[in-house]
């Protein structure tokens, strides 16, 4: 007998028929003699509809109130799934995040899980019940309801799996797994049988979209996470820790190609080259909640001024430029230029940085495709190039083929 | 500074515009220097819609699951009302039944309030906040969510008013108060300025429909309940205890005319006249949850058998006959006859039974109208006649006029 945590997203429970479909899948797991705790998101577009409703009475809905409002979406889907299971003759019970013991801080709208008290979950499981838990929500020490932010149900599922020491956390979604590249861009993209936590973080945009916090949590507690389709029985992708493969030399390989097409680059030119300049530039951005990705600094020939370039999501560009304008004088910056027509393409694989040849191979493939590289950054498991947005998909296809990732490659 | 509990029903918060209207009313109470705790029902027909949704996945939804599902309706309305108040610049906070300290037993679907812990309510009030509480719901000792049954938000409001020792509990609804008869039947019906708790229970069908448990709770804790329209500022009806008027002789008077048109009468003929017969007849009905109203027993001339007649809601008639059939042999009953085309009309007033003349006056008015009386029962504050359903409205009009209750009477 194994203990599984399942998670079904909003598209998997979008209507009564789909809810009954999920109920049948869970019944089969139960019939096979396993225990299962199931985390469910709100039905279809419920969360967006509730946010729209809030805006009919308030220009800027209070975050605490909004969280209590949004939490109702998952209460609807868990109770319906539990009823559907009972209608099939199975003993099921639904639990809100609070009832399931999910405790969070009070950062409404994007709360962090502080603790999972599995007492009630274990009690219901010991009664032989199928337990259905509301994703995306928790309870503060003051007994206020919080939500965990977009995609938070993934985090709920992995946190429960960790607290229950479950054998596996299965994330069922409308995509069949994790691919070597986005299948919409690269039709020959390969579904990966397995992928490490860190590579998964880099590949999040390729195929199933997982909440990054859930992957990080899985890595910390070493929870095997299996991503597959809720609409078919095709094999999915297992996201696992390094321990399973870390002695194998062939672990060092390219796993997939990631791509982000919403990249804007900002260059602050002629900044005085003295200590504290970078802090003066980036601290206000951090305070404003703007996430900065790649940062490159080039000191000029005369060594008295420097240029600092960095990338942000292009939706954050306007706010970024406002913040810099306010802090520009302090830095003595000569001018600021920006470009919001960029993309990032990355080659992702375990241990790449320690293996020569991957970077140069990437640059050659792009060069042969006539694609100019604007910026380059590398990490342990990733080489990224900032290129023109309108060549991004070409770059993904060329790299996918060039690194022999195509299904027939 | 007074402390008020307000309650707004589903029709008063049916859409964003009406929610903002309620917010403005509460803001005015706050501006006048008062504290106010507001209980809200689910928007419009939300509860019925959620019940319908449950039936899309289950033929017979589990009551615990259904309660958790239904509880979301009020969470939506309280958060929207709180957001609307905040949008107007007022500090408001919404609380679920659980957060508001409403503890119940675990009779899902019609739970009874066991206790109200006002700690959180008092804390929020002390911060100067407008507090919005979800009606109709509570929490069991096992931390499961319950609902209080139809109209339960009235009970929530009165229970909170009792626990907070509020100065008054205001029930705002789509009807302007309590009338001397149903205004749809008697256009000249008079809106009552005041009415006692017990009379209110008898008059519940005349004008604003209050949940009977809320009136009983108000009577026990002596909470003044004010019923008025949420759509106008016209004066409503104050439901109060006897203490305010019990020394006044003119208290003994007719308050109004009540009417129920869904009455079925069952007569079990030729029942053996021995102890235990009535128990054998009515215990199975009680177990089946069938509410029996009037009961009349006539012993036959030879004193060996008896006829027992009683009334039930006509929607319960089929079940009632089935139950009697099963217990009939035990009673040696000769035959069962029933009639589901009856109505009950009542003259309601304080202390009527101690005052001669009211009953005979009622019978004369009905007789002059050519209306035959089938059964008669009386209580401290009520004389009721069972008559033919198709003369019910005539009877109400004749009695309303005959007892000089018409506005111009």
A38-82 pLDDT, tens digit per residue, is: 999 999 999 999 999 999 999 999 999 999 999 999 999 999 999
Does residue B355 register a pLDDT over 50?
Answer: yes
Looking up tokens 């306010």, which residue turns up?
A: A326
Facing residue for A68 by CB, picked from B56, B75, B144: B75
More confident residue, B62 or A309: B62
B56 touches A: beta carbon within 8 Å: yes
pLDDT in tens, A101-114: 999 999 999 899 99
Which residue from A373, A350, A377, A351 is spatially nearest to A363, judged by alpha carbons?
A: A373
Residues of B in contact with A66 (CB under 8 A): 79, 83
B53 touches A: beta carbon within 8 Å: yes
8 A C-beta contact, residue A241 and residue A197: yes
pLDDT the model gives residue A165: 96
B residues 141-180 lying closer than 8 A (beta carbon) to A: 143-145
B71 touches A: beta carbon within 8 Å: yes
Beta bridge partners of B345: B259, B385
Contact B87 A20 (CB under 8 A): no
Looking up tokens 């993934």, which residue turns up?
A: A154
pLDDT in tens, B106-135: 999 989 999 999 999 999 999 999 999 999
Residues of B in contact with A72 (CB under 8 A): 72, 75-76
SS (H, E, C) B80-125: HHHHHHHHCCCCEEEECCCCCCEEECCCCCCCCEEEECCHHHHHHH
8 A C-beta contact, residue B19 and residue B13: yes
Once rounded to an integer, what is the mean pLDDT over residues B24-34? 97
A71 touches B: beta carbon within 8 Å: yes
pLDDT the model gives residue A119: 97
A58 touches B: beta carbon within 8 Å: yes
Cα end-to-end distance, chain A, whole Å: 40
B65 touches A: beta carbon within 8 Å: yes
Most confident of A305-319, B12-26, B221-235: B12-26
Facing residue for B94 by CB, picked from A68, A75, A143: A68
Q: By three-state DSSP, how is residue B375 classified?
A: strand
Q: How many residue pairs bridge chain A and chain B with CB atoms within 8 Å of each other?
A: 112
Q: How far apart are CA A218 and CA A204, in angstroms?
A: 14
Q: How far apart are CA A36 and CA A48, in angstroms?
A: 29
pTM of the model: 0.81
Q: How far apart are CA A22 and CA A14, in angstroms?
A: 11
SS (H, E, C) chain A: CCEEEEEECHHHHCCHHHHHHHHHHHHHHHHCCCEEEEEECCCCCHHHHHHHHHHHHCCCCCHHHHHHHHHHHHHHHHHHHHHHHHHCCCCEEEECCCCCCEEECCCCCCCCEEEECCHHHHHHHHCCCEEEEECCEEECCCCCEEECCCCHHHHHHHHHHHHHCCCEEEEEECCCCEECCCCCCCCCCCECCEEEHHHHHHHCCCECCCCHHHHHHHHHHCCCEEEEECCCCCCCEEEECHHHCCCCHHHCCEEEEEEEEEEEEEEEEEEECCCCHHHHHHHHHHHCCCCEEEEEEEECCCCCEEEEEEEEEHHHHHHHHHHHHHHHHHHCCCEEEEEEEEEEEEEEECCHHHCCCHHHHHHHHHHHCCCCCCEEEEECCEEEEEEEHHHHHHHHHHHHHHCCCCCCC
pLDDT the model gives residue B63: 95
Once rounded to an integer, what is the mean pLDDT over residues A273-302? 77
8 A C-beta contact, residue A313 and residue A262: yes
ipTM summary value: 0.78
Confidence of residue A353 (pLDDT cuts 50, 70, 90): low
CA of B64 to nearest chain A CA: how many angstroms apart?
9
Contact B54 A79 (CB under 8 A): yes
Does residue B242 register a pLDDT over 90?
Answer: no
A51 touches B: beta carbon within 8 Å: no
CA of A283 to nearest chain B CA: how many angstroms apart?
32
Contact A87 B58 (CB under 8 A): yes
Contact A94 B16 (CB under 8 A): no
B residues 273-302 lying closer than 8 A (beta carbon) to A: none
The arrangement of strands across the sheet holding A145-147 comes to A113-116, A102-104, A137-139, A145-147
Q: Which two tokens stand for residue A108?
A: 């409404």
Please, what are the domains in chain A?
3-173 (3.40.1160.10), 256-402 (3.30.2130.10)
A89 touches B: beta carbon within 8 Å: no
Chain A, nearest residue to B64 by Cα: A93
Per-position b or e across B52-64, b if 16+ CB within 10 A of its CB: ebbeebbeebbeb
Contact A83 B66 (CB under 8 A): yes
**Most A CBs within 10 Å: which of B58, B64, B106, as the mutation test of the A interface?**
B58
């Amino acid at each position: 007998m194994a203990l599984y945590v399942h998670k079904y997203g909003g598209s998997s429970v979008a209507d009564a028929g789909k809810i009954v479909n999920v109920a049948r899948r869970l019944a089969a797991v139960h019939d096979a003699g396993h225990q299962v705790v199931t985390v469910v998101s709100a039905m279809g577009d419920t969360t967006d509809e509730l946010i729209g409703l809030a805006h009919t009475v308030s220009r800027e809905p209070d975050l605490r109130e909004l969280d209590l409002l949004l939490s109702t979406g998952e209460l609807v889907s868990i109770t319906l799934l539990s009823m559907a299971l009972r209608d099939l003759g199975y003993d099921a019970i639904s639990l809100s995040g609070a009832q399931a013991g999910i405790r969070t801080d009070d950062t409404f709208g994007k709360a962090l899980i502080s603790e999972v008290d599995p007492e009630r979950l274990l009690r219901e499981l010991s009664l032989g019940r199928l337990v259905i838990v509301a994703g995306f929500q928790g309870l503060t020490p003051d007994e206020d309801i919080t939500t965990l932010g977009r995609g938070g149900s993934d985090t709920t599922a992995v946190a429960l799996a960790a607290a229950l020491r479950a054998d596996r956390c299965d994330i069922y979604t409308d995509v069949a797994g994790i691919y070597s590249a986005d299948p919409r861009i690269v039709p020959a993209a390969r579904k990966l049988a397995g992928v490490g936590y860190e590579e998964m973080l880099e590949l999040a945009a390729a195929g199933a979209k997982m909440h990054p916090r859930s992957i990080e949590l899985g890595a910390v507690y070493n929870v095997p996470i299996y991503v597959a389709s809720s609409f078919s029985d095709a094999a999915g992708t297992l996201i696992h820790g390094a321990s399973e493969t870390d002695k194998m030399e062939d672990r060092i390989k390219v796993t997939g190609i990631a791509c982000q097409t919403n990249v804007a680059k900002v260059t602050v030119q002629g900044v005085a080259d003295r200590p504290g300049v970078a802090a003066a530039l980036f601290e206000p951005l951090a305070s404003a909640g703007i996430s900065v990705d790649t940062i490159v600094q080039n000191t000029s020939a005369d060594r008295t001024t420097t240029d600092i370039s960095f990338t942000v999501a292009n939706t954050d560009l306007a706010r970024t430029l406002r913040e810099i304008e306010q802090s520009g004088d302090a830095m003595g910056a000569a001018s600021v230029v920006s470009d919001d027509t960029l993309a990032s393409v990355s080659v992702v694989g375990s241990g790449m940085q320690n293996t020569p040849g991957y970077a140069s191979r990437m640059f050659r493939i792009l060069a042969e495709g006539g694609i100019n590289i604007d910026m380059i950054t590398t990490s342990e498991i990733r080489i990224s190039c900032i290129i023109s947005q309108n060549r991004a998909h070409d770059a993904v296809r060329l790299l996918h083929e060039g690194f022999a990732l195509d299904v027939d490659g």
